[in-house]
Amino acid sequence: MRTIVTGAAGRLGGRLKQILEGRGYDVVGVDIVPGEGIEQLDLADYDATHKFIYARRPEVVIHPAAWTDVDGCARDPEKAILVNGFGTQHVALATAAVKAAVVYISTNEVFDGRSARPYREYDPPAPVNAYGYSKWVGEQATLHLNPHHYIVRTSWLFAHGGKNFIQTILNAAQAGKKLRVVTNEVANPTYNDDLADALASLIETGRYGIYHLVNEGAVSRYHFARYFLDRAGYADTPIEPITGQEYPRPSTPPVYCSLDNMAGRHIGITLRPWREAVDAFLAKEGLLK
DSSP string, the chain: -EEEESSTTSHHHHHHHHHHHHTT-EEEEEESS-BTTEEE--TT-HHHHHHHHHHH--SEEEE------HHHHHH-HHHHIIIIIIHHHHHHHHHHHTT-EEEEEEEGGGS-SB-SSPBPTTSPP---SHHHHHHHHHHHHHHHH-SSEEEEEE-SEE-TTS--HHHHHHHHHHTT--EEEESS-EE--EEHHHHHHHHHHHHTTT--EEEE---B--EEHHHHHHHHHHHTT-TT--EEEE-GGGS--SS---SB--B--HHHHHTT----BHHHHHHHHHHHHT---
What is the rounded average pLDDT of the residues 47-76?
97
pLDDT digits (tens, 9 = 90+) for 81-137: 999 999 999 999 999 999 999 999 999 999 999 999 999 999 999 999 999 999 999
Instruction: Tell whether the model's pLDDT for residue 141 goes beyond 80.
Output: yes
Residue 166 scores a pLDDT above 90 = yes
Architecture of domain 2-159+189-215+259-267: 3-Layer(aba) Sandwich (3.40)
pTM: 0.96
Structure confidence at residue 245 as a pLDDT band (50, 70, 90) = confident
Confidence band, pLDDT 50/70/90 cuts, at residue 163: confident
Residue 247's pLDDT is what? Answer: 81
Tell me, what's the pLDDT at 214? 98
Mean of the pLDDT values across residues 167-190? 96
Query: Each residue of 10-44: pLDDT tens digit?
Result: 999 999 999 999 999 999 999 999 888 999 999 99
Query: What percent of the chain stands above pLDDT 70?
Result: 100
Residue extents of the structural domains in the chain: 2-159+189-215+259-267
Question: What are the catalytic residues?
Answer: 131
Q: What is the mean pLDDT of residues 201-222?
A: 98
Evaluate if residue 54 carries a pLDDT over 80: yes
Please determine, for residue 162, whether its predicted confidence score (pLDDT) is greater than 80.
Answer: no
**Mean pLDDT to the nearest integer, 236-264:** 93
Mean predicted lDDT score pLDDT of the chain: 96
